[in-house]
Structure 1
Amino acid sequence: MGKDKLRRFAAVKEFPNFFEPEIPKEYHMKGRWRSDYFKNDNPIVLELGCGKGEYSVGLAQHFPDKNFIGVDIKGSRMYIGAVQALEMQLKNVAFCRTKIDFINDCFAENEVDEIWLTFSDPQRKKPNKRLTAPPFINRYRKLLKPGGIVQLKTDSDILFEYTEEQIKEHNYECLELTWDLYGELPENLDQTTKDIFHIKTHYEKLFTAKGSVIKYCKFRIH
């Protein structure tokens, strides 16, 4: 790890909007994110594999009546989003450093309303490591409230095709699915929805600059 990464990683540990559970212990914030941090009863939205946290911060700006938590294992990356949130005085966004494998140690049953997967690793040779694979979906099922949704935004044909197959195979309720998000956005979408879709992470900017087509789907697991 370079000196700058070490500096950011050390700094972010002191931020009030950054949390680092001691896995495999059950985290003390489990079931208490609303009461102990956000101080409200608003819905909780997780961004799993949040990277630098741009999407979590962008969503928090658009939805002040929702709580957002970016989850990633790379604390030095989340430093960027955590700094932005503090500078913008956003009280409805936080960051949690943990592996997604241990997500059920950090959040209680039915504590989460929605999950975003933004430009997840497609895991070309390890299908069960994909964030829409059954082992992860089973974890989400425990966290999500009844009717909770999962949203995926990706440039990967492999991940998206796999996810579409999973939706069909396991009879998840597909709410939206497009292989060309920006090419197929309906003209009558409200401005807030358009703004959300156009929040671009560092990785999305890189992918679209290379000509990648962005895919999107939204589904419920029961």
Structure 2
Amino acid sequence: MGKDKIRRFAEIADFANVLQLDEGKPMKGQWANNFFKNDKPVVLELACGKGEYTVNMARLFPDKNFIGIDYKGNRIWRGAKTAIEDGISNVAFLRIQIETLLDYFAPGEVEEIWITFPDPQPQISREKKRLTSKRFLDMYKIVLQPNGVVHLKTDNDGLHAYTVEKIAEYGLNKHIQTEDLYHSAFVTEVLSIKTYYEGKYLAHNKNINYVKFSFE
């Protein structure tokens, strides 16, 4: 492990806006009241990486609480540090495996889930690791409120097509779908937030896919 990674892992251990592994379990069902000390809705970004989306959504929507989830602490460090430096209090980061989501969030605790540019896991043998495969969709349905929604934003055409297929297969409610977000009528301020990698994709004229869906 490089020196920068070691330093970042040491720093996030002292960040008040970062919880790691079992540290987050006592918050299950109590994120708004016990962690954020309010009664505002909770929004998750899964596989948040450096947390650009988490932090910028928190800036845009001070009336909501945002939690970025990723297992790689050296990536979370960037978003958590930015939030601390900029005094953004409605954002937190949780360092866990997404597979354990139900250990950290109670049924109906979450208003929205964002999945932004995840690993598409293109190999057939790794389908279960795709963040819109049935195993994950089943988790999302539990933690989301009855009217809760899921957003997927990805440069990967295959993952987008796979997700749209699953939405149809399981009879989910598709609200918005586009294979070329920035040339569509659906662009909003929040959808215009760009991660580091998205900027690189757009510089190479890569289309950005987006789909919004719910379970009811």
Per the shorter chain, which TM-score range?
over 0.9
Are residue 108 (structure 1) and residue 106 (structure 2) matched? yes
Quote how far apart the aligned CAs of 1:195 are. 2.1
What's the counterpart of residue 211 of structure 1? Answer: 205
TM-score for both structures, normalised by structure 1: 0.93
SS at match of 2:158: helix
Post-superposition, which runs of at least 4 consecutive aligned residues in structure 1 deviate over 3 A? none
Match of 1:80 among 78, 81, 87: 78
Task: After TM superposition, list the pairs within 5 Å mapping 1:54-203 onto structure 2.
Answer: 54-125=52-123, 126-185=126-185, 194-203=188-197
Looking at structure 2, the residues matched to 180 and 61 of structure 1 have their Cα atoms a distance apart, in angstroms, of 25
Task: State the identity %.
Answer: 48
Looking at structure 2, the residues matched to 142 and 63 of structure 1 have their Cα atoms a distance apart, in angstroms, of 24
TM-score for both structures, normalised by structure 2: 0.96
Looking at structure 1, the residues matched to 189 and 2 of structure 2 have their Cα atoms a distance apart, in angstroms, of 35
Name the amino acid aligned to 1:63. Answer: F
Looking at structure 2, the residues matched to 195 and 172 of structure 1 have their Cα atoms a distance apart, in angstroms, of 26
Looking at structure 1, the residues matched to 9 and 193 of structure 2 have their Cα atoms a distance apart, in angstroms, of 25
Gaps spanning 5+ residues in structure 2: where?
none
Quote how far apart the aligned CAs of 1:157 are. 0.7
Contact 1:109/1:144, CA 8 A, preserved across alignment: yes
What's the counterpart of residue 220 of structure 1? Answer: 214
Name the amino acid aligned to 1:207. Answer: Y
Gaps spanning 5+ residues in structure 1: where?
187-192
Looking at structure 1, the residues matched to 189 and 112 of structure 2 have their Cα atoms a distance apart, in angstroms, of 18
Quote how far apart the aligned CAs of 1:205 are. 1.3
SS at match of 2:63: coil
Looking at structure 1, the residues matched to 79 and 152 of structure 2 have their Cα atoms a distance apart, in angstroms, of 20
Looking at structure 1, the residues matched to 141 and 164 of structure 2 have their Cα atoms a distance apart, in angstroms, of 18
Quote how far apart the aligned CAs of 1:17 are. 0.2
Contact 1:29/1:106, CA 8 A, preserved across alignment: yes
What's the counterpart of residue 48 of structure 2? Answer: 50
Quote how far apart the aligned CAs of 1:210 are. 2.3
Name the amino acid aligned to 1:61. Answer: R
SS at match of 2:153: strand
Looking at structure 1, the residues matched to 185 and 15 of structure 2 have their Cα atoms a distance apart, in angstroms, of 38
SS at match of 2:112: strand
Looking at structure 2, the residues matched to 195 and 115 of structure 1 have their Cα atoms a distance apart, in angstroms, of 17
Looking at structure 2, the residues matched to 27 and 85 of structure 1 have their Cα atoms a distance apart, in angstroms, of 22
Contact 1:21/1:106, CA 8 A, preserved across alignment: no
What's the counterpart of residue 36 of structure 2? Answer: 38
Looking at structure 1, the residues matched to 30 and 21 of structure 2 have their Cα atoms a distance apart, in angstroms, of 13
Deviating more after overlay: 169-178 vs 208-217: 208-217
Looking at structure 2, the residues matched to 38 and 209 of structure 1 have their Cα atoms a distance apart, in angstroms, of 37
1:124-172: per-residue Cα shift (whole Å, max 9, x none)?
1122211011000011111111111000000001100000101111110
Contact 1:44/1:114, CA 8 A, preserved across alignment: yes
